[in-house]
Structure 1
Amino acid sequence: MSELIEKLNWRYAAKRMTGEVVPQDKLDNILEAIKLAPSSAGMQPYNVLVIDKKEVKEKIHKIANNQPQILESSHLLVFAAWEKVTVESLDKYMNLIATTRGVTVDSLSAFHTSISGGILSRSEEVNFQWAARQAYIGLGHALVAAATEQIDATPMEGFNAAALDEILGLKEKGLKSVVIMTLGYRDNEKDPYVKAKKVRRPHEEFFINV
């Protein structure tokens, strides 16, 4: 069994955490993995809020079904998708490509036109759902990266998104929360699922060869 598969077998969605702080280098590696996640057209149409302040986690705990991991976590990550994709955000992305790759913005005109004709021609709701799906790709990278660092990570959708957006002032930032994830260390005494076997559908039932 490869080291990666061993780490993925080790990980699970921890229900209780100890409150121990995740070392900065491990946190940085997880965040870098999110940043390196692929996204449609490479635009990364979402942001990740990194929360470690107790008072902020206490507010979020109340609107997230009082899930204890939020208070017991070292850090809480909030994946928030862009509410709108604008001409300005597209132009900013083109400038970033040009600067990073040492090319002119004019040389990217065909790519600009392609994105404009696709993404910018859609409704705001369609683009928000598209952006949210890109955020989930980042979430997947975060879960795998956390496992490789042997940091417990628990993804959560059970929260009041409108209330969370208000707590974090996301509307003013042009963002909407879509999913959150706690980072920390499992509590071997309090978590009833620490020793539970991982339940997954059989390989031959799950995968379909075509």
Structure 2
Amino acid sequence: MQSFLEISKNRYTTKHYDQDKKISQKDIDILLEIARLTPSAVNIQPWHFYVGSTQKAKDLILPAIPDFNIPRIRDCSHFIVLCSKTKISKEDYEALTEKEDKDGRFGDPKLKEAIGSHRMEFGQMHEKLGDFSHWTAKQVYLVMAALLYGAASMGIDSTPIEGMDFAKADEILGLKDKNLQSVGIVTLGYRKDDSNALRPKSRLAKETIISSLD
């Protein structure tokens, strides 16, 4: 089994997929569980994921994809549209706290009340600041990273996609009425002949991007 460092060194963004190779349902279920388990600020989990693999699903989302990214959607085995919440109701906050209670996270009713209130206050703070949608979208990028590296650990290739028409994707999926916004897409599958795989990885030197405060 590769270490996380080895996976980080070897993983690359796939440009071309073998459309004849499909990911098993078992492996897709594992990746979706990785997405579900991703951490978020105050455990707010402000996301929803739309998963597609059929031609019908691909045709549905393709109008939101520019020409240069169409091959990634067309030839991948599966794709996941990552969405973040644009609004969270009082009932949503309460339901989240009740789920945590059911899962055994609180041994004391006072702790349950305190954590539930703190989470709601934190969300309301971002609403007052006017950056709530931006804040929730940042949580979804944690999911994107988890999916990319989770897939790599399973021998599955992936592509993170931001090159898309977000407004069109929101319209296609009816996200506005669901208090959601699209943030990006992760395509998944198995690489075909891909020149990107042959290029050495290039990153800035650690001395350029890391500064010690000690």
State the TM-score, normalized to the length of structure 1: 0.91
Structure 1 residue corresponding to 2:127, chosen from 115, 123, 142: 123
Deviation string, structure 1 residues 52-73 (Cα, Å, up to 9, x no partner): 1212212423321121111101
The question of whether the paired residues in 1 share the 8 Å contact of 2:18 and 2:192 is answered with: yes
Query: Cα 1:83–1:105, aligned 2, differ >3 Å: closer, same or farther?
Result: farther
Cα separation, 1, equivalents of 2:15 and 2:105? 47
Query: Cα 1:102–1:64, aligned 2, differ >3 Å: closer, same or farther?
Result: closer
User: Aligned AA for 2:114?
Assistant: A
The question of 1:111 aligning with 2:112 is answered no
CA-based RMSD: 1.9
Structure 2 residue corresponding to 1:74, chosen from 74, 77, 91: 77
Cα separation, 2, equivalents of 1:91 and 1:59? 34
1:93 corresponding residue in structure 2: 96
The question of whether the paired residues in 2 share the 8 Å contact of 1:98 and 1:105 is answered with: no
User: Aligned AA for 2:40?
Assistant: S
CA drift of 1:48 comes to 1.3
The question of 1:134 aligning with 2:161 is answered no
User: Aligned AA for 1:90?
Assistant: Y
Cα separation, 2, equivalents of 1:43 and 1:122? 13
The question of 1:197 aligning with 2:200 is answered yes
CA drift of 1:75 comes to 0.6
2:172 corresponding residue in structure 1: 167
Cα separation, 2, equivalents of 1:3 and 1:102? 31
2:41 corresponding residue in structure 1: 40
CA drift of 1:51 comes to 1.0
Deviation string, structure 1 residues 25-76 (Cα, Å, up to 9, x no partner): 2222221111111100111111111111212212423321121111101111
CA drift of 1:106 comes to 4.2
Cα separation, 1, equivalents of 2:132 and 2:62? 29
The question of whether the paired residues in 1 share the 8 Å contact of 2:63 and 2:168 is answered with: no
Matches within 5 A, 1:49-60: 49-60=50-61
CA drift of 1:109 comes to 1.3
Deviation string, structure 1 residues 141-184 (Cα, Å, up to 9, x no partner): 11110110011110010111111112122223221101111000
State the TM-score, normalized to the length of structure 2: 0.89
Query: Cα 1:3–1:121, aligned 2, differ >3 Å: closer, same or farther?
Result: closer
The question of 1:30 aligning with 2:48 is answered no
User: Aligned AA for 1:49?
Assistant: Y
Query: Cα 1:115–1:4, aligned 2, differ >3 Å: closer, same or farther?
Result: closer
Query: Which stretch has the larger CA shift, 54-63 or 25-34?
Result: 54-63
Q: Which stretches in structure 2 are left out of the alignment for 5+ residues?
A: none
Alignment length, in residue pairs?
Answer: 207
Cα separation, 1, equivalents of 2:56 and 2:196? 28
Q: Which stretches in structure 1 are left out of the alignment for 5+ residues?
A: none
Query: Cα 1:115–1:72, aligned 2, differ >3 Å: closer, same or farther?
Result: same
- What percent identity do the matched residue pairs reach? 29
